[in-house]
Amino acid sequence: MAERPWSEIDRVSPEELGDPVLQLHWASQLVASAGQTFAEPLADDSHRAMTWSDLHGALVGTPFAGPYPFRVALRPADLTLLLLDRTEQTLGALPLRGLSRGDGYDWLALAVATYLGGAPPRIERPEYDVPSHPVGQGQPFDADAEALSVLASLYGSAADLLAEMVEARPDASAVRCWPHNFDIGTLITLPERGEGGVDRSVEAMGRERGTGAEKRDAGGEPAVESERAAGGGEAIDRGADRTVGVGMAPMGGGYEGWYWYVTPWPYPDPADLPELAAGRSWHTEGWVGAVLPGEEVTRAARARRRGLVRAFLDEAIAAAQSALSRTAG
């Protein structure tokens, strides 16, 4: 991906994106609802999650199997709901600004019925809580257009950087945006510990399981204090695994603006956390993770932003792994 998205994320300051983030979060529930209604339920809840599509500049839901596969997507830049066919062609589009969430559900049911034939299906709605906002009570979407464009750049740049990192790590899950907390991230599952506390390689574990160096389909660290850090939603249980969540959260977790995070699990004792580079810190209230605030990213020269975030992630992942090794040892 070109550097352009990184140059556009400073057009609206991170702390001023709160209302547009909440509206986008509520709009994304339409995609999650489609996943809940039409997709086969998965234990890690990824049937309700989204991935970023550069082609559409959108957060795209899981593909729905059947004789006529389709996907539902949300384009943040103009808050538009999309229905896509099996070839990624757009079957229909609904700009949500000026409309209510109920209007979106009505359109989605009619669009699916038109595509598949038959009566409009009942679209199920997720049971988890989403931060309160008037659009959740039926008010029309009215998010600022420039702020939505910035959020599109933010999610697009985050997805690109995370995908690059995941490509080089067979122990990392697919990059997903989770509708529960609306962060976008990946989950690194560290090697199991063998006799004597020695780490077993991911490659060896993959050979034993017959799947190669497989990637676990879980998500990044939730950014909402009220939920346990469970890698993308309350339906996921990390169990005894040692993991490192990596991603970008648009708000929450004690922060008003967006930030990058790296979270070890199980949470190490704060005394075991290695010191990070100047300007970077560990969050230890309610959850534990290294944090790079959006303000620090936007203060950097535009050409340096991507490299700054990648350097933070590399350093923080190494530090999290080191802390987990000491804790488990």
**In a domain? residue 3:** no
- My answer on whether 16 and 130 are in the same domain is yes
- My answer on whether 230 and 267 are in the same domain is yes
- My answer on whether 170 and 298 are in the same domain is yes
- My answer on whether 110 and 154 are in the same domain is no
- My answer on whether 231 and 248 are in the same domain is yes
**In a domain? residue 182:** yes
pLDDT at residue 31, rounded to an integer = 98
Are the C-beta atoms of residues 80 and 126 closer than 8 Å to each other? no
- Strand pairing partners for 244? 188, 264
**In a domain? residue 159:** yes
pLDDT at residue 19, rounded to an integer = 98
3-state DSSP assignment of residue 324: helix
Mean pLDDT of 10-31: 97
3-state DSSP assignment of residue 249: strand
Domain boundary among 112, 143, 174: 143
Domain boundary among 84, 115, 143: 143
* Residue type at position 309: V
Percent residues over pLDDT 70 in the chain: 83
179-193, 214-228, 276-290, 315-329: least confident range: 214-228
* Residue type at position 303: A
Residues 35-90 have pLDDT tens digits of: 999 999 999 999 999 999 999 999 999 998 778 899 999 999 999 999 999 999 99
**In a domain? residue 2:** no
Quick one: pLDDT band at residue 223, thresholds 50, 70, 90? Answer: very low
**In a domain? residue 46:** yes
Residue 115 region by backbone torsions, left for phi larger than 0, else alpha for psi between -120 and 50, else beta = alpha
- My answer on whether 35 and 51 are in the same domain is yes
**In a domain? residue 71:** yes
pLDDT at residue 76, rounded to an integer = 98
Tally Cβ neighbours within 10 Å of residue 174: 17
**What is the span of the domain harbouring residue 111?**
10-143
3-state DSSP assignment of residue 152: helix
Tally Cβ neighbours within 10 Å of residue 130: 19
In the chain, count H helices and then E strands: 7, 11
**In a domain? residue 99:** yes
Q: What DSSP designation does 273 have?
A: P
Quick one: pLDDT band at residue 3, thresholds 50, 70, 90? Answer: low
- My answer on whether 160 and 135 are in the same domain is no
Domain boundary among 103, 122, 143: 143
